[in-house]
Amino acid sequence: MDRDALIHRLAERIAGNKSLLLDGWTHLVLVSHVDADTADMTGFCYTDDGRAVPVSPKDFSIFDVLEELRAVMAEADGKKPWTAVLFRIERATGKFAMEFEYDQPERWAVTPANVKARAREFAPV
């Protein structure tokens, strides 16, 4: 499968994951870190009442698509695989944006120590 098809499949998996998109959601920001072919994903669902709710997927098939996308991109770009990705989804416009990190795998890491700061940092403008 090519990159665009995998991105489309990933967007579908995210949209279909009820644990990520809460009632009244306006924006979703997710971070995934891939280390030794093991992926994780966490982030925030921003709601119309101003909350930033920590979320993570319950359907782990999203990681299969994510790892396949990572491999396809590395091969197509002739680069080493990325180590982290940041997703932003805006409900009103349907905009789905991604940023990739190749050198600093912890660039967007969400931890118990920084969860409140990351929620503010990732908040939609």
Residue 100: give its domain's CATH number: 3.30.500.20
Neighbours of 12 (CB within 10 A): 12
In the structure, what pLDDT confidence band is assigned to residue 6 with cuts at 50, 70 and 90? very high
What pTM did the predictor assign?
0.91
> Which strands make up the sheet holding 25-35, listed edge to edge?
52-55, 38-47, 25-35, 84-90, 96-101
Residue 98 has what pLDDT? 94
The pLDDT value recorded for residue 37 is: 65
Encode pLDDT of 78-118 as tens digits. Answer: 989 999 999 999 999 999 999 999 999 899 999 999 999 99
Number of domains, the chain: 1
Residue-averaged pLDDT of the chain: 93
Picking from 80, 76, 70, 77, the residue whose alpha carbon sits closest to that of residue 7 is 70
pLDDT (tens digit per residue) in 8-22: 999 999 888 889 999
Say whether pLDDT at 62 is over 80.
Answer: yes
Domain containing 41 equals 3-122
